[in-house]
Structure 1
Amino acid sequence: MLPDRHAAPLVGREPELAVLGARVAGIRDGGGAVVVRGEAGIGKSALLAEAERRAAAAGARVLRATAVESETQITYSGLYQLVSPVLAHADGLPAPQRAAVLAALGRTEAAAPDLFLVALATLNLLAEAATHAPLLLVVDDAHWLDRASADVLVFVARRLEFEPMGLLVAVREGVRSVFDGAGLPELAVGRLDDDAAAALLDAGAPALRQAVRERVLAESAGSPLALVELPIAMRDVGDGVAPIGPLPLTRRLEDAFAARVSALPAATRQLLLVAALSDGEVLSEVLAAAALLGGEAPTVEAFGPAVQARLLEVEGARVSFRHPLMRSAVVQRAGIGPRRQVHAAFAALLTDDADRRVWHRSAAMTGPDEELAAELEAAAGRARRRGGVEAAVAALRRAAEVSADPQRRGERLLRAAELAFELGRPDLVSGLLDTGAAAELTPRQRTRMAWIRGRFDDGVGDVPAGARSLTDLAERAAADGDAGLALKLLWGAALRCFWTEPGAAMRDEVVRVAEGLPVDAHDGRRLAVLAFAAPIESGAVVVDHLRFLATHPSRHGRAARRAEAALLVGAFDLAVGFSATAIAQLRAEGRLGLLARCLATQAWGAAHLGDLAVAIPAAEEAARLSRETAQPIMYATARVTQALLAALRGDWDQGEALSAEAERAALRVAARPVLATVCHARGLAALADGRPAEAYEHLSRMYDPADPAYHPALRCFAVADLVEAAVRGGHRGPVADVVAQLEDVARVTPSPALHAGLRYARALLAADADAEALFEDALRADLVRWPFARARVQLAYGGWLRRQRRAADSRGRLRAAGETFDALGTIPWSDRARQELRASGETIRRRIPAAREQLTPQELQIAQMAADGLTNREIGERLYLSHRTISSHLHRIFPKLGISSRAALRTALHPQAA
């Protein structure tokens, strides 16, 4: 029999129980997560309770939390409730993770690091506890979790594949939560059918008159809570409590509960209101707060009538409502005056809990109060330090509402909007800025407001006017002496130059202002602005400074912007190097949003170098983290990079699927760089598959200014593919004009990618009398860090020599090209080199697939780290996975590679180095 607090029994819930039962039964092998979704009163709590019972019977330990609406602003309150029984296992965590989780949960005064480090610590904390017994984590009313706790649980839920843990969260349909669209399996709990509804009603209220019975069945419309509660309401106060009409069922139930409250003694009603407005379930607190309201001292016995009316339960030291609708009904029927009095009582009582106290005090306040605003601002700072960004936003917004000083009000709104940006909430940012626009802001505050407005879309889909406005504001900020703000504004303008096509004049204006700022010439932010705004015109300056920084590691600082700048000017080798430095920094800090961007940069650069061992796992992780951190354009960028990699590997079907996915996302916002790379990926795939005419069609779009796929920088990096497609497909004439244009571009910028591509193109297009010298010139270039580009020259040169009837001369170059392609894993080019060798008269061995080709991208990444000597814990910390998950992956990897130990990994992954 279910505990009475679970109002909806399990009649008619056999299908849902089968799903949850199967998940609980398999918990030892990795239970995964399920979001149980349904409207209020549909029986989600009963299903969770039954899952708990089954898990406990199977030997699992159950950790439970029930979120309440009043605690949504208390950072990590839900997580603390869930994991506090296993916090002793924190001693087994690595020091940074232990410090992070203890700070987040208020066990130490240290500032909590990034939320994702707290999330990783939570995952490993639970994994440690699960080594003693499988865990079932149950969170009821999860839509009311504080945002930080909810984000941590979504992170954990996505990583339970190999953990002996299951997670069940119940959310109410129609109430927004972090679990919406999180990509987790869902179990929809619907209304009962007629037979099940009748059986439930008859089991709970067998003596109803037929007319009442029919009315309850009609009114409840299959809601289990209504089938249980409406008969009680009708029995206690008459048939009129459930009016026939258009009211939603939840409102009818609230009316029924409110009517039940009205029949209670005054002292009990007052206690109910205090309990309803409490942000906890501590009985002593409720009684103490009620005592401050005056009148007769309250006792536990005064709750008796409410318990008998089945509105709440008193168990030991806790008092709790049987259903959230009962709590809201109590608040609903109380006037604003009594509610403020109760909040004031709690504010007077909670002197040792500053965060809870300030929210109660805020609810009791009616007008401006600068002292309260300052307390709320301090609460926002505490929430931010603990990683509770959403709680900090709420506190700052409320502080602005009660601010007596107009300028402080505007500053608080701006700070709230800046934090709301971190949440990925454009609606919240827009609302805060709209409110702030009516405030008395200083010119500098209005400049900050413009910068915040432009941050969300990275300039995607924005009109060129956005770049003009930001550049003007940057110039104004620079004149005021705020170079940092000017750089932020120029970064927004530069992104618009990258994602849209604002014209040469606008690009020049961004460059002019950036070059005039009083900042270090090597500043990565400045270099990124120049590269994104005018990668060709500023190419020489950017490449020169980046090369200096590459040889002076102590000057690196933040390498992420430098990596992006290197990418845009075609210095892919530098981009990959700077990315590696930045990725290590970002992993250590737990900054997953920036990590996703930097991984995408690394993957894109490594893909153009043909370094699949780096690019494949980086692109896969970039895509995964971009989804987790709500960056749709970064996700599309990662996916189209994966399409490029699929073309290099010869996986045509997967490549087209990835290209199509990225194209759909890019078309919605006219993201030119993504559309250009889609054309590049499709062209490269067609070229590798022996379809040069089709390849030329795709690639030529990148060079047509009227085409949405045209991009002035990215077209420079596909010239080798375009010319090869043209030569092999019979389009020599048209492509010569494109090459001539790019020759002009090459006189402006030293872009390594452009110059390497042009050297290759010149040799392909040359007459036989000139070709050999041009091939030799291409091979004399420094391509040590560009192995794919060098091997392509060798392949083309060897093929030309063979066609000149110089078979003996061709074989060495063809053999070298094939060995490089084999090592890189670029299978179509490897096959072409073998075909050319065979045609030259050489007997060749059949290509043996590399062992690493059997691995998934994530498995390859884990195998590479393990081969480098990292422990499972160290790999887990870098990839935001538990060490148990790493161990499980390695157990899958070893058989695929034909090995039985970590010691053999390096040889298996790099046999040519053995």
Structure 2
Amino acid sequence: MDDGGSGRPAGSLVGRAGDVAVLTAFLDRAAGHGAALVLTGEPGVGKSALLDVAAQAAGTSGVRVLSAAGAEFEAEVGFAALNQLLVPVLGELTSLSDLHRSALATSLGYRAGPTADRLVVSTAALTLLREVATGRPVLVVVDDLPWLDRASAGVLGFVARRLSGARIGLLAASRSGDGDFLPLAGLPEHEVRPLGDRAAEELVTSRYPTMAPRVRRRVVTAAQGNPLALLELPAALTGRQRVALEALPSVLPLSRHLQALFADRMGTLPPATRRLLLLAALDGTGDLRVLGAASRDEDWLDGLAPAEEARLLRVDAETQRLSLRHPLIGSAAVELATSGERRRAHAALAEVLVDQPDRRAWHLAEAAVGPDGPAADLLDEAADRALRKGDGVRAVTALLRAADLSPSGPDRARRLARAAYVGAHAAGELRRVPDLLLQARRADPDGGGSLQTAMAASYHLSTGDGDVDGAHVALVRAIESALLGPVGVGDLDEALHGLLVICHSSGRPEPWQALESAAARLGHRLGLALSVARSTFGAPAHATAADLRQLDRVIAGIDAEEDPAQIVRTGLAASYVDRLDGCRQALWRVVGSGREGGAVACAVDALVVLCQDAYGAGRWEEARRTAEEAVELGEALGYRLPSLSGTCCLALLAAAEGRHETARTLAGQVVSWAGPRGVRALEHSAYRARALAALAEGDFEEAYRQAAAISPPGVVAPHVPVAPWVTLDLVEAAVRTGRRQEAEAHVAAMRGLEVFRLCPRLVLLAAGSAALTAPDDGAAACFEEAMATPGADRHPFESARVQLAYGEHLRRVRATGAARLHLAGALEAFTRLGARPWAVRAEHELRATGVSRSPVARAAPVELTPQEHEISMLAAAGLTNKQIGVQLYLSPRTVSAHLYRVFPKLGISSRAALRDALARVPQEVGGRGAG
């Protein structure tokens, strides 16, 4: 904004840069030599907001602003708007002639007497405005032109055409279609158009930042760029609807403001036309054949004519389609209808849509009054189809409505329990489970042991509270009862998948017995995905080639799978046996759906699988972002178990990168929650991070203790999911602490398991472990075998660790040239990954071969801020954090935080190593950046 000279619009309206530019040019012209402009546009498009922006800009720059607005109830009051406009300047009347002063005084109601001639009043008003403008420019702002009283409108039209050279601007606003407003006809116009999609999204997001993306898109589509509708439509939704925890109605409701805006043009339509508009709105497809069949009237097309004449809709005879001029016209038709009219319209549409079961089910449900068994059954089926398409929210909404329509208590209870399970397992509604199960118990007090109830309760217990033992007992009891009755295989398969996850989380062999027993009783009826997951997810160390072939068959269909739960289950089955490449795209599809308010709970599980996959593949930044998203989303929804799985991944990353305190803190958080609850799988993952952190620090005794707590030496525990992944950690720690016999026993255990010959990552770990325990004269061959593992490069951290160990061995046996080659390769890989402790170790070994400074170190100089460099120098000189703080006017905690960031940058883990590390930092480093 230019504060000098003519006024320019201030402030910011989303998507209105072009309109504001037009107003800026207008204000320049008006302040210089007079001008008039009429803003036109549909109701709610933002004309009034633009008038406000112009008025504010003009006032700020010293322009005198006079304003008035038409009002429907004042339309018959003569000179009402002119009175609004001129009241602030009535003190200037004394400067007018007696004729003009008397004409305005009587016309505006300040003096009794006969009303003056319209020409005299108009001339008096123009003269008064010119007189006011002699001191400073004047801007006349008039909103809602069509509602101005005719007398005032005539005066303003007269004034608007005589502004040349007067330093007066007249800015008015009128709805599109009101061009027959003769008093101001012919004046310059600017059409204010609806916002584009990007600006519309921005506007909605600014007002409703937590709205789910798919709900926001629905609002943007319905509003068609109308700013008022964009802001008011969400206000008419419930809080649960806005965040996609509850399905949106087929026709969006209107706020009172929008009702007044869009419904007023429908009040004069004939009843038959309004009924057709209601049918069209509720149908939502625009198909004239459906509309005609539902209307049950031979002359129904003629009934649309009044709505066409009122420009509310268009009919295309060629395509047999009807389109409403604005989607909210349909919402207005629904709002104006009585409940009886809406029910009859839904019933008529249900009769027509016999070949579209989902739509028919919902129309029947909306037409029902009281219990309706057939409608409830159809909604049950619609919920199944919604689930298969990944729309958990829609499925829950259908089940809850079906429960409302259920004539019997057991049916109502069953549907409520299923809604609780689906809501928790797919839609992110874990916290709603207790309330829905309570309603189910009230509906059927004797049905508390049903399979659906047990599935919901066990999922809530395990995923939210971490009570895996309680969840196991509840679900096993229900499954055993179901096996004795006529329960469908699909329900049993779903329940057994839940039991599989509970057994996996327990990390103990005992809970698996019940699952194996139930699977044996089902026999060939057991689903393929569940059959495979029992091995590859439940006991990955004991997976066989036959298991992997079956898994590959399941993965082959994952890209065509729409059900997020099935995709996640396949991903889990593949996650421990190197088969995630074929699942990654589908898992990200689940995450994308969850981000938009779809299957949120499935998205949390998918994020956990994907962050572990990214860690193993060396994509550590991706792993960090994905794990953080899993933790944040899981915590927000109350899904503690998967959330803490994400925390385990973050702890592992911290350990690998040398952020030891962070690793220990995160692992401690996991153990403190999982330990008392018996969630051993989480505990084992935390122990894994602790073991890696201890290895990075060179504390091999602690590393051995943590790794052995996962799986004792000589045993790769079958029901401990991470046991195969810590084999190298355990063997290295055992060798380093003189426990060669234990190390060799663990290598022998790996050799006895088929999976260590089938999965590239496990082949690499087994071969690397064998090389660490091999005698000096046979170690090179073992290391070469490990390095030649097909696909080893897909696991760069483990591969670099084996290469580091190979280089260390070669240096010990004085094969210096070969040692340098492997140590440099390991250093480059660790540096690229950000595995600082391992890079420091590799560089130390490389220097021991006679290489004074590696090319990698020169290529990636350390960057310390000036403050970090100064604090490091003082710490290296032996000062305590408190002494450094006194010298630099910092708190000891701030000093500690700086050193916490410095240590990983320098690739060290203790204060004692600061002096040597700083000696390797170029002198100019301390001058880079700003602290």
Compute the TM-score of the two structures, normalised by the length of structure 2.
0.50
Please point out which of 615, 631, 637 is paired with 2:623. 615
**Whole-Å Cα distance in 2 between the matches of residues 814 and 362 of structure 1?**
71
Find the counterpart in structure 2 of residue 841 from structure 1.
850
Q: Which amino acid aligns with 1:404?
A: P
Residue pair 1:461, 1:500 contacting (<8 A) in 2 also = no
Q: How many angstroms apart in 2 are the aligned matches of 1:853 and 1:126?
A: 54
Asked if residue 827 in structure 1 is aligned to residue 839 in structure 2, the reply is: no
Name the residue aligned to 1:805: 814
Which of 441, 446, 452 matches 2:450?
446
Q: C-alpha distance in 1, partners of 2:789/2:445?
A: 57
| 2:509 pairs with one of 497, 503, 511 | 503
Q: 1:417 aligns with which of 420, 426, 447?
A: 420
CA–CA separation in structure 1 for the residues paired with 2:259 and 2:673:
44
The answer to whether the 8 Å contact 2:373/2:406 transfers is: yes
Deviation, 1:637, is 0.9
Give the deviation of 1:644 after TM superposition: 0.9
Q: Letter of the aligned partner of 1:543 in structure 2? A: L
Counterpart-to-counterpart distance in 2, 1:560 and 1:801: 44
Which residue pairs with 1:145 in the alignment?
238
User: How many Å separate the matches in 2 of 1:402 and 1:581?
Assistant: 36
Question: Aligned partners of 1:850 and 1:467: how far apart in 2?
Answer: 58
The 5 Å alignment of 1:744-783 reads 744-745=752-753, 750=758, 752-782=760-790, 783=792
Q: Quote how far apart the aligned CAs of 1:684 are.
A: 0.8
1:692 partner amino acid: F
Contact in 2 for aligned 1:795/1:833 (Cα 8 Å): yes
Q: 1:490 to 1:711 in 2, by over 3 A?
A: closer
Separation in 2, partners of 1:725, 1:694: 8
**Alignment partner of 2:407: what SS?**
coil
Q: Structure 2 stretches of 5 or more lacking a match?
A: 1-10, 15-51, 58-191, 247-255, 268-336, 348-360, 864-931
Q: Distance in 1 between matches of 2:559 and 2:812?
A: 51
2: distance between equivalents of 1:815 and 1:370?
Answer: 73
User: Offset at 1:839?
Assistant: 0.9
- Map 1:427-826; keep pairs closer than 5 Å: 428-437=432-441, 446-458=450-462, 460-463=466-469, 464-466=472-474, 468-469=476-477, 471-472=479-480, 475=483, 482-501=488-507, 503=509, 506-507=512-513, 509-510=515-516, 513=519, 518=524, 523-547=528-552, 559-568=567-576, 571-572=577-578, 574-584=579-589, 586-587=591-592, 590=596, 591=598, 592-667=600-675, 669-703=677-711, 712-745=720-753, 750=758, 752-782=760-790, 783-826=792-835
**1:868-888 CA distance string (max 9 Å, x none):** xxxxxxxxxxxxxxxxxxxxx
Per the TM alignment, residue 371 of structure 1 is displaced from its structure 2 partner at its CA by 9.3
3-state SS of paired residue (1:610): coil
Q: Deviations over 1:858-908 (max 9, x none)?
A: xxxxxxxxxxxxxxxxxxxxxxxxxxxxxxxxxxxxxxxxxxxxxxxxxxx
Contact residue 599 and residue 622 of structure 1 kept, 8 A: yes
Matched position secondary structure for 2:854: coil
Bigger drift between 845-854 and 821-830 goes to: 845-854
Match runs of 1:235-274 below 5 Å:
none
Partner letter of residue 240 of structure 2?
Answer: R
Contact 1:746 1:755 in 2 (8 A): no
Which residue in 2 is equivalent to 1:265?
A: none
Query: Counterpart of 2:795 in structure 1: which amino acid?
Result: W
Give the C-alpha shift of residue 678 in structure 1: 1.2
What per-residue deviation string (whole Å, max 9, x for no partner) do you get for residues 206-240 of structure 1? xxxxxxxxxxxxxxxxxxxxxxxxxxxxxxxxxxx
* Mapping of residues 72-83 of structure 1, within 5 Å: none
Q: How many angstroms apart in 1 are the aligned matches of 2:623 and 2:762?
A: 20
Unmatched tracts of structure 1, length 5 or more: 1-24, 29-53, 60-85, 106-113, 154-276, 289-344, 855-914
Letter in 2 for 1:721: D
- Aligned CA distance change for structure 1 residues 613 and 117 (closer, same or farther; 3 Å): same
C-alpha distance in structure 2 between counterparts of 1:601 and 1:500, whole Å: 18
Is the contact made by 1:580 and 1:602 (CA closer than 8 Å) also made in structure 2?
A: no
Q: 1:113-192 counterparts in 2 under 5 A?
A: 116-119=212-215, 121=217, 145-150=238-243
Measured in 2, the distance between the counterparts of 1:827 and 1:127 equals 53
CA 1:768–1:451: 2 relative to 1, 3 Å: same
CA gap of 1:543–1:603, structure 2 versus 1, over 3 A, is same
Residue 435 (structure 1) shift:
4.5
Which aligned pairs between 1:36-51 and structure 2 lie closer than 5 A? none
CA distance 1:381–1:844, shift in 2 (3 Å): closer
The residue number in structure 1 matching 2:106 is: none
Offset of residue 493 of structure 1:
1.5
Q: CA deviation at 1:800?
A: 0.6
Count of aligned residue pairs for this structure pair: 578
Identity of aligned residues (%): 26
| CA separation of 1:689 and 1:26: change in aligned 2, threshold 3 A | farther
Aligned-partner Cα distance in 1 for 2:394–2:589:
29
Task: Look up the match of 2:407.
Answer: 404
Maintained 8 Å contact 2:537/2:575: no
Alignment CA distance shift 1:697-1:530 (3 Å): closer
Describe the shift of the 1:850–1:449 C-alpha distance in structure 2 as closer, same or farther (beyond 3 A).
farther
In the alignment, the residues of structure 2 paired with residue 352 and residue 675 of structure 1 have an alpha-carbon distance, to the nearest angstrom, of 59
Query: Deviation of residue 616 (structure 1)?
Result: 2.9
Moved more, 553-562 or 754-763: 553-562
Deviation at 1:491, TM superposition (A): 0.5
Q: Secondary structure of 2:794's partner?
A: coil
The separation in 2 between residues aligned to 1:769 and 1:802, in whole angstroms, is 14
CA spacing shift, 1:425–1:727, aligned 2, 3 Å: same
Deviations 1:629-667 (A, max 9, x none): 442222111121011112222222333343334334434
CA offsets per residue over residues 90-131 of structure 1, 9 Å max, x none? 65599xx99xx9xxx9xxxxxxxx99441463798899989x
What SS class does the counterpart of residue 455 from structure 1 fall into? helix
- The 1:376–1:766 alpha-carbon spacing in structure 2 relative to 1, beyond 3 Å, is closer
Summarize the Cα distance change of 1:508–1:125 in structure 2 as closer, same or farther, 3 Å threshold: same
Whether the aligned pair in 1 keeps the contact of 2:196 and 2:225 (CA below 8 Å) is no
Greater RCO (CA < 8 Å, at least 6 residues apart): 1
Give the letter for the 1:465 counterpart.
Answer: V
User: Contact 1:368 / 1:404 at 8 angstroms: preserved in 2?
Assistant: yes
2:214 counterpart letter in structure 1: V
Contact in 2 for aligned 1:760/1:793 (Cα 8 Å)? yes
Task: Give the structure with higher Rg (CA).
Answer: 2
TM-score (norm 1): 0.51
Q: Is the 8 A contact 1:458 1:496 kept in 2?
A: yes
1:178-207 CA-to-partner distances (Å, cap 9, x unmatched) read xxxxxxxxxxxxxxxxxxxxxxxxxxxxxx
Change over 3 Å in CA distance of 1:721–1:395 after alignment to 2: closer
Map Cα deviations across residues 399-445 of structure 1 (whole Å, 9 max, x no partner): 64674345543444344434543554456434443554576799999
Amino acid at match of 2:505: W
Cα distance, 1:850–1:369 mapped onto 2, change above 3 Å: farther
1:606, distance to aligned residue in structure 2 (A)? 2.8
Given the superposition, is the C-alpha separation of residues 351 and 366 from structure 1 closer, same or farther in structure 2, using an over 3 Å criterion?
Answer: closer
